[in-house]
Amino acid sequence: MKKVASMMLLTLTCIACQQEEKVEYSPLGPVPAFAQRPGDPARGREALLNEPYITCGIPESAYRKLVPPPPKDQILAERKGRNATLPYYQTHYRTPDGVDLIVANCLNCHAASIAGQFIIGVGNEQRDFTEDPRERIESVGLYLTDPKEIAQWRRWASRLSAIAPYMITDTVGVNPAANITLALMAYRDPNTLAWSDKPLMEPPPQKPLPFSVPPWWRLAKKNALYYNAEGRGDHARAMMLGAIYCADDVATLERIDRYAPDIRAFFASIEPPRFPWSIDNILAEKGRTVFESHCSRCHGTYGEQESYPNLVVSLEEVGTDPLLAEWTTTGGTDRFIHWFNRSYFGRLSRAAPAPGYMPPPLDGIWATAPFLHNGSVPTLAALLDSRKRPAYWLRSFDTNDYDPGQIGWRYQALDHGKAGARDDLERKHLYDTSLPGYSNQGHTFGDILTEEERRALLEYLKTL
């Protein structure tokens, strides 16, 4: 009897474990609103530009020897102290033991110039993550002699070396931030955030799925974060997740959380940049009618009485590359969802992906090329007519080489993918839509329009 009782207890325990481990995914359809903590946008902008929410980096003594002074167009006048001498994407931080570090900040991926206009909050589609950073990490140590600085360098290097295999992309311009975050989770205890030199759970696949960085100003309308509507609950807490790159304890996160709602309020207050070229207003008004008839159900309406439906659309309906949504709702990321929901972040936020994609609000859409969640379509003209989408293409990385007529970056269509690239330079810049996760299929809703309707719709999209 004792043996039977023990087996029953073990069975019940296993069932309880399975129930505890079950992940709840979100349904398709409307996404409910969640109350957001109030914040001050002005304080949020100041914190974004000056607070060191990433707390490990290169000792300043080595940085000043290795990195030349930034060009004037990378200096923001409103920054303070040492930050006033740094490019906008780097921040000064003095550690508790007195070591001055130069650390990364959010503007690495969330600011860019387009046709001479510097825009905070737009995704940086120029970033190159195709190279392994580990060789450069080691070279920094050659410039250090102070034991405290060496210790800080090793702390930074250990984290970057651990996640480096998970951040190398196939193509310049796509962003591996999601995969980097999952890799960091694998090395950190969810309760204490203590760093482990070995993974505590299986890391993500080494090859990141491609992402196009969405603009911050969409937060003003979206009820959930990310393309698959995974980020539910308190947005400020969820957006702090990148701090686990360096935060080794919950106390560090609590300090950041004091101003995180202010930063979230700043994001939501950002006015989308206006289209800087001329617009045919008569044609655009015709395009409004086309938009409201064919696009507004998913993307909302614009003008004096704006609306945004906050819908998650099924993969079958939208037809775009399914790998991201499928991976996050078929068990591929369950261990990371558990990590998040058990952690400090899960006290106010919740990770609950949906088996589809959330069509975004289109404010400032002109500035967000290339298009779709994986950046597979170079222009809005090609998005509205799937026959114009190149299977293989090289886009311009000159920030002034923008096509205001087609709305997107100028590009060169090729007759070959990465396997046929002429050299390494072409290979790293070539967008190959035949690769897993890189498909440019789907969103064919514009194909039913006439050429005149598409031309009018394109003109209207310039006004948003």
Which pLDDT score, from 0 to 100, does residue 111 have?
96
* pLDDT tens readout for residues 337-389: 999 999 999 999 999 999 999 999 999 999 999 999 999 999 999 999 999 99
Q: Tell me, yes or no, whether 148 lies in a domain.
A: yes
- Reply yes or no on whether the pLDDT at 26 is more than 60: yes
Average pLDDT of the chain? 93
Give the pLDDT band of residue 449 (cuts 50, 70, 90).
very high
Which pLDDT score, from 0 to 100, does residue 212 have?
96
Q: What percent of the chain has pLDDT over 90?
A: 90
Which pLDDT score, from 0 to 100, does residue 18 have?
36
* Encoded tokens for 403: 């096509």
What gap in Å lies between CA 73 and CA 76, rounded to an integer?
A: 8
Contact between residue 164 and residue 134 where contact means Cβ atoms under 8 Å apart: yes
What gap in Å lies between CA 338 and CA 334, rounded to an integer?
A: 6
Contact between residue 380 and residue 366 where contact means Cβ atoms under 8 Å apart: yes
What mean pLDDT is predicted for residues 208-214?
95
What mean pLDDT is predicted for residues 109-125?
94
What gap in Å lies between CA 87 and CA 91, rounded to an integer?
A: 8
Please state the pTM of the whole predicted model: 0.92
Instruction: Report the phi/psi class of residue 361: left, alpha or beta, with left for phi > 0 and alpha for psi in -120 to 50.
Output: beta
What gap in Å lies between CA 117 and CA 273, rounded to an integer?
A: 9
Contact between residue 443 and residue 299 where contact means Cβ atoms under 8 Å apart: no
Q: Tell me, yes or no, whether 445 lies in a domain.
A: no
Q: Tell me, yes or no, whether 384 lies in a domain.
A: no
What gap in Å lies between CA 253 and CA 192, rounded to an integer?
A: 11
Domain that holds residue 197: 30-269
Query: 340: exposed, middle or buried (C-beta count within 10 Å: 0-12, 13-18, 19+)?
Result: buried
Please report how the helices 281-294 and 451-461 are oriented relative to each other, as an axis angle in degrees rounded to 10: 100
Tell me the C-alpha to C-alpha distance, in Å, between residue 221 and each of 210, 269, 306, 402: 24, 11, 10, 27
* Encoded tokens for 313: 């659309």
Provide the residue type at 333 as one letter: T
Tokens 């003109």 belong to residue: 459
* pLDDT tens readout for residues 56-95: 999 999 999 999 999 999 999 999 999 999 999 999 999 9
Q: Tell me, yes or no, whether 78 lies in a domain.
A: yes
Tell me the C-alpha to C-alpha distance, in Å, between residue 381 and each of 137, 218, 280, 299, 301: 42, 22, 16, 17, 20
Q: How many residues does the chain have?
A: 464
The residue among 141 and 320 whose pLDDT is bigger is 320
Which pLDDT score, from 0 to 100, does residue 272 have?
96
- Reply yes or no on whether the pLDDT at 202 is more than 80: yes
- Reply yes or no on whether the pLDDT at 1 is more than 70: no
* pLDDT tens readout for residues 392-440: 999 888 888 999 999 999 999 999 999 999 999 999 999 999 999 999 9
Q: Tell me, yes or no, whether 246 lies in a domain.
A: yes
Contact between residue 157 and residue 140 where contact means Cβ atoms under 8 Å apart: yes
* pLDDT tens readout for residues 214-248: 999 999 999 999 999 999 999 999 999 999 999 99
Instruction: Report the phi/psi class of residue 303: left, alpha or beta, with left for phi > 0 and alpha for psi in -120 to 50.
Output: left
Q: Tell me, yes or no, whether 62 lies in a domain.
A: yes
Which pLDDT score, from 0 to 100, does residue 334 have?
97
Q: Tell me, yes or no, whether 74 lies in a domain.
A: yes
What mean pLDDT is predicted for residues 177-197?
96
What mean pLDDT is predicted for residues 90-110?
95
- Reply yes or no on whether the pLDDT at 450 is more than 50: yes
Residue 101 DSSP one-character state: E
* pLDDT tens readout for residues 125-168: 999 999 998 888 888 888 999 999 999 999 999 999 999 999 99
> What is the SS3 assignment for the chain?
CHHHHHHHHHHHHHHHHHHHHCCCCCCCEECCCCCCCCCCHHHHHHHHHHCCCCCCCEEHHHHHHHCCCCCHHHCCCCCCHHHHHCCCCEEEEECCCCCEEEEECHHHCCEEEECCEEEECCCCCCCCCCCCCHHHHHHHHHHCCCHHHHHHHHHHHHHHHHHHHHCCCCCCCCCCHHHHHHHHHHCECCCCCCECCCCCCCCCCCCCCCCCCCCHHHHHCCCCECCCCCEEECHHHHHHHHHHHCCCCHHHHHHHHCCHHHHHHHHHHCCCCCCCCCCCHHHHHHHHHHHHHHCHHHHCECCCCCECCCEEEEHHHHCCCCHHHHHHHCCCCHHHHHHHHHCCHHHCEEECCCCEECCCCCCCHHHHCCECCCCCECEHHHHCCHHHCCCEEEECCCCCCEECCCCEECEEECCCCHHHCCCHHHHHHEEECCCCCCCCCCCCHHHHCCHHHHHHHHHHHCCC
* pLDDT tens readout for residues 253-303: 999 999 999 999 999 999 999 999 999 999 999 999 999 999 999 999 999
Q: Tell me, yes or no, whether 79 lies in a domain.
A: yes
The total number of structural domains that make up the chain: 1
